[in-house]
A = this chain, B = another copy of it.
Amino acid sequence: MSRVFNFSAGPAALPEAVLKRAGEELLDWHGAGMSVMEMSHRGKEFMSIAVQAEADLRELLAVPDNYKVLFLQGGASSQFGMVPMNLTRDNKKVDYLITGSWSKKAVAEAKRYAEVNLAADTSDSKFTIAPGQNELKLSGDAAYVHYTPNETIHGVEFPYVLETGDVPLVADFSSTILSRPIDVSKYGIIYAGAQKNIGPAGLTIVIVRDDLIGNASDGTPTMFNYATHAKSGSMYNTPPTYGWYLAGLVFKWLKEKGGLSAMAEINQRKAQALYAAIDGSDFYANPVDPSCRSWMNVPFTLADAELDTKFLEGASAAGLKTLKGHRSVGGMRASIYNAMSEEGVQALIDYMAEFERVNG
């Protein structure tokens, strides 16, 4: 079979150009006579890869000099613990916003280490809305404010950056990082599992402001302490070298595409086209308020859920894969990260129209 259009929420499609490059270099990277996977992480070859990847990511996101960029393991789920363990030694009060399944999980872990004030909780809306700035019940004296700019499962996204004054803003950017420019200086910590817009699973990027490093609570495992990794350039122990390398190839690809402003235009077009197809039909529906619909994850339902299986089977036969919605939500979900082309989104729209014509 040729390459399919893969709408998986994560691990997700990677740019074909990146995979081809990785394939060409798999047994012999740049004449080194070995794979990147086989290189000592402290050797000059891998160090050059690591340094370049960080430099390209810093350039793409315009990361200010007073932030460290860490290449870690453990996924966002580890950050759910690392954030409170590193930031609440002197102040246990923290503010969290619940706007979907992932922010809810972050709260559950934070409660084990801190006193959580829920500054917002949109459960009653079934997570179809992002709260406005003036609706937030912020403590004002919290150690930090945590939120999830884009909820992967519910497809709901904040259309603005929270204002938290002097209180550090911590954001789980797993499913939206690199989809458009962001102003890093507005955040204390940005973290993201790689397996959506960065690279393969098993790598986690953490961008952390210098003053938030070095304050871990007693009992924080050495590997959970940001200071451990900041001091060692993410090489306290062996990092996930191949994931780091692939992320570097993705960063290069993004630069070649014109950087994050260019990606933002493409991503907005992709999302607008898909939402327009859904809204223009009585057969398909998306429950999220139009003001805060995700550019990355587009859940939708069919008018008759009995047709779900038929829809998925037909899509699969047409090379449109991994469209089943999360089990907690049902229906369909199309994740359209950077690596999903406009052509792929159009193929989905065309399939949806044809399916409606036959079954609607």
A residues 173-218 near B (Cβ < 8 Å) are: 193, 195, 200-203
Bound: A13/B34 CA distance, A: 8
Contact partner, A33, options B4, B28, B113, B237, Cβ 8 Å:
B4
**Contacting pair A109 B222 (CB below 8 A):** yes
**Contacting pair A78 B223 (CB below 8 A):** yes
**Contacting pair A240 B201 (CB below 8 A):** yes
Interface 9-mer from A39-47, A126-134, A163-171, A275-283: A39-47
Query: Chain B contacts of A321 at CB under 8 A?
Result: 33-34
Identity of the chain B residue whose Cβ is nearest the Cβ of A203 in the assembled complex: B202
Query: Chain B contacts of A1 at CB under 8 A?
Result: 28, 31-33
Interface 9-mer from A18-26, A139-147, A259-267: A18-26
A residues 9-57 near B (Cβ < 8 Å) are: 9-14, 16, 19-20, 22-23, 26-28, 31-35, 37-41, 43
Question: CB of A77 within 8 A of chain B?
Answer: yes
Interface 9-mer from A68-76, A289-297, A303-311: A68-76
Identity of the chain B residue whose Cβ is nearest the Cβ of A222 in the assembled complex: B109
Bound: A242/B12 CA distance, A: 12
Query: Chain B contacts of A8 at CB under 8 A?
Result: 38-40, 43
**Contacting pair B76 A201 (CB below 8 A):** no
Question: CB of A81 within 8 A of chain B?
Answer: yes
Contact partner, A77, options B28, B32, B219, B237, Cβ 8 Å:
B237
Minimum CB–CB distance from A177 to chain B (whole Å) comes to 15
**Contacting pair B222 A221 (CB below 8 A):** no
**Contacting pair A237 B109 (CB below 8 A):** no
Bound: A3/B38 CA distance, A: 11
**Contacting pair B23 A223 (CB below 8 A):** no
Contact partner, A238, options B26, B75, B219, B322, Cβ 8 Å:
B75
Query: Chain B contacts of A14 at CB under 8 A?
Result: 35, 37-38
Interface majority SS on A: helix, strand, loop or mixed?
A: loop
Query: Are A3 and B27 also in contact (CB < 8 A) when A33-B319, A73-B202, A238-B75 are?
Result: yes
**Contacting pair B3 A223 (CB below 8 A):** no
Bound: A224/B221 CA distance, A: 9
**Contacting pair B73 A11 (CB below 8 A):** no
Query: Chain B contacts of A41 at CB under 8 A?
Result: 11, 201
**Contacting pair B28 A11 (CB below 8 A):** no
**Contacting pair B37 A11 (CB below 8 A):** yes
Query: Chain B contacts of A243 at CB under 8 A?
Result: 202, 240, 242
Query: Are A11 and B38 also in contact (CB < 8 A) when A4-B33, A77-B237 are?
Result: yes
Bound: A213/B4 CA distance, A: 41
**Contacting pair A74 B223 (CB below 8 A):** yes
Identity of the chain B residue whose Cβ is nearest the Cβ of A9 in the assembled complex: B40
Query: Chain B contacts of A76 at CB under 8 A?
Result: 237
Minimum CB–CB distance from A224 to chain B (whole Å) comes to 6
Query: Are A3 and B34 also in contact (CB < 8 A) when A26-B26, A81-B223 are?
Result: yes
Question: CB of A239 within 8 A of chain B?
Answer: yes
Query: Are A241 and B26 also in contact (CB < 8 A) when A33-B2, A35-B14 are?
Result: no
Provide a sorted-by-A list of 7 A–B residue pairs whose CB atoms are within 8 angstroms: A6-B33, A8-B38, A11-B38, A11-B40, A37-B246, A43-B322, A202-B243
